[in-house]
Structure 1
Amino acid sequence: INSAHYDRAAPWLATAGSGDVLAGFIAGLLARGFAPMQAAETAAWLHVECARKFGPGLIAEDLPEQLPAVFRDLGL
């Protein structure tokens, strides 16, 4: 299970629409064949990484735009 606290804290995720983006990440992973729990765990991790990559001041629309950079950092 992934959490966003201590060194992975991203309090700026507490913004309107952020949860909708998380739901979209989960739905996208389910569509790619991930098992439900695996999709939720992976999406939660990606959600936090996108927020940390952008930093404070993000709005929900900024999160999906960070995915390519997060994937690059992972070597994908």
Structure 2
Amino acid sequence: MATAGSGDVLGGVILGLLTQGYPATDSAIAGVFLHSLAGDLAAAQKGEASLVAGDIVDHLGEAFVRSLKNRTIS
């Protein structure tokens, strides 16, 4: 995802996981996964060409719920 601010969103997701006590490696892996899934969900709804970082943020909750349902992350 090469949209302005998407790296900031990724950093925020990883930092959020770190502050909840997850180990650094696990936070990075889960953060990248959640960020990617949220981006895919946002792109499917909005279209990849018009995607902005806020769209990724808007889909993080859904990405988290889906990953927990599928036991992708714990």
TM over 0.5: yes
Structure 2 unaligned segments of length 5 or more: list them. Answer: none
Higher relative contact order (CA 8 A, sep 6+): 1
User: Percentage identity across aligned positions?
Assistant: 36
Structure 1 unaligned segments of length 5 or more: list them. Answer: 1-12
Displaced runs of 4 or more, over 4 A: none
- Alpha-carbon distance in 1 for matches of 2:64, 2:4: 24
User: Aligned pair count?
Assistant: 64
- Conserved 8 A contact 2:34-2:64: no
- Over aligned residues, Cα RMSD in angstroms? 1.4
Using structure 1 for the length normalisation, give the TM-score.
0.76
Bigger fraction of residues in helix: 2
